[in-house]
Chain A
């Protein structure tokens, strides 16, 4: 089961990964990212950022969905990461067992050629297609919120979109 699906444009990074895996009590981290799944250099940096003692799996989005739906993983608490909303939406539409989706940091390093970005919060800068994906995400039957670190309060994404 996915204890939390986090959208973070840096995927795994340092202490933030450490506090979240501790907070969520997740022995396994799954990075669902097509680029990372095919790029050994990115894999190396992700391995280096993985907290000691945690298992890491790097898969394309489609392959990650298979892992999440594998009956063997039903009782395993997993911390899932994507770096964009569209990937998270695809996972949320194809996986049933997700406790919550944390839209933490998006779009800050994105290619700006796609046109104007929409600032939804201080750490969310979304292109048109990402904004549409986020709206779709909030329609699903899963809590969708923003919480950068565990000591921050959870802010619902629906309320942020209304602003």
Chain B
């Protein structure tokens, strides 16, 4: 059984899977849908993913809220309370969810999401050098 599905416009999904494999060796933990790269109808793939969960908790990552992939996912998820959908997916949230050891709940997921935001990154300007003593305190 796969607990995670990443579905995106184009190759973002398989690209995230590739990053996940490089960082954690856990690329095989996720199913992926690269939508619209060919004529393949991916809706049955979403259905299949939800079915094989057999009522257990699963997560579907989509790329854009309101995008067509996300819409198709939402239509299939209706009535399946065990499936959680995350949108605006980035590598950080995929890693956090897959590396999370505790059982996933909505609260848990909200916590992981708040720690996985895109951000403006600036070089730290403090030149604080830690001494052995302050480290060992």
> CA separation between A56 and B129, bound complex, in Å?
10
Q: A15-B92, A149-B99, A151-B99 are in contact. Are A122 and B25 (CB under 8 A)?
A: yes
Q: A16-B24, A19-B99, A148-B25 are in contact. Are A57 and B121 (CB under 8 A)?
A: no
Restricting to B116-135, which residues have a CB under 8 Å from any CB of A? 121, 123-124, 130, 132-133, 135
**Interface residues on chain B, size class:** 10 to 19
Contact A57 B132 (CB under 8 A): yes
Query: Of B25, B96, B121, B135, which contacts A149 at CB under 8 A?
Result: B25
Q: How far apart are B6's CB and chain A's nearest CB, in angstroms?
A: 16
Restricting to B90-136, which residues have a CB under 8 Å from any CB of A? 92, 95-96, 99, 101, 121, 123-124, 130, 132-133, 135-136
Residues on A facing B (Cβ under 8 Å): 13-16, 18-19, 23, 28, 30, 44, 47-48, 55-57, 66-67, 70, 72-73, 76, 122-123, 148-152
> Which 6 A-B pairs have CB atoms at the shortest separation, nearest pair first?
A15-B95, A72-B136, A57-B135, A19-B99, A73-B136, A149-B24
